[in-house]
Amino acid sequence: MNICMARIDDRLIHGQVVLGCCEALHAARLVLLNDAVAEDRLQTRIYKSAVPPGIECEILGLESGAAYLRSCDDARPTVVVVGSPLDMATLLRLGTGFDEVFVGGLHRSEGRTQELDSTGVFVGKEDRQALASIRRAGVQVRVQSVPGAPAVDLDSLLQIEEP
């Protein structure tokens, strides 16, 4: 599979993902991997309705999504979105491979603190552990709102050690 972006964004599918990522990268497919959304037909319909014609949208749970990513040999450019660092770490543990992961949005919630004023990235203890796990797997982790925008490497910010 030709994954042109793997993104962590707790908003899942929204304007930045569709316009700023999929259209900017000329993605033909958007794959949202989220257990709760995949199990809810209404949420699935709502999220799919946010994706414009011409971009295929798949919504799968994490386990079935990992199997899909491992087995799909389609060469069309694909954007993969998950809602949390833990979900991304789970995908890696399930055998999917990414060279680079972009954090597009982790917003304020209980137990999370803001890491960079300009990015709006908030992380908690579980997020830090998952991001460290992703880095230990040899995956580069960057904060970037959309392709072409300035990117911030998270290693020094979160004091994550190189793998």
pLDDT attached to residue 158 = 63
- Tell me if 132 sits within 8 A of 163, measured CB to CB: no
The predicted-structure confidence for 33-66, as pLDDT tens digits, reads as follows 999 999 999 999 999 999 999 999 999 999 999 9
- Tell me if 83 sits within 8 A of 8, measured CB to CB: yes
pLDDT-derived band at 116, boundaries 50, 70, 90: low
More confident position, 107 or 68: 68
- Tell me if 76 sits within 8 A of 29, measured CB to CB: yes
Q: Is the CATH number of domain 2-158 3.40.50.300?
A: no
- Candidate from 23-37, 96-110, 147-161 with smallest mean pLDDT: 147-161
Mean pLDDT of 76-102: 94
Summary count for the chain: helices (H), strands (E)? 7, 9
Percent of the chain residues past pLDDT 70, beyond the cut: 86
Residue written as token pair 């919504």: 59
Mean pLDDT of 102-107: 78
pLDDT-derived band at 161, boundaries 50, 70, 90: low
- Candidate from 29-38, 73-82, 107-116 with smallest mean pLDDT: 107-116
pLDDT attached to residue 115 = 61
| Ramachandran quadrant class, 30 (left: phi over 0; alpha: psi -120 to 50; beta: rest) | beta
* Tokens encoding 157: 């910010």
Centre a 10 Å sphere on the Cβ of residue 107 and count the other Cβ atoms it contains: 12
Mean pLDDT of the chain: 87
* Tokens encoding 114: 């803001």
Q: What CA–CA distance (Å, rounded) separates 156 from 68?
A: 33
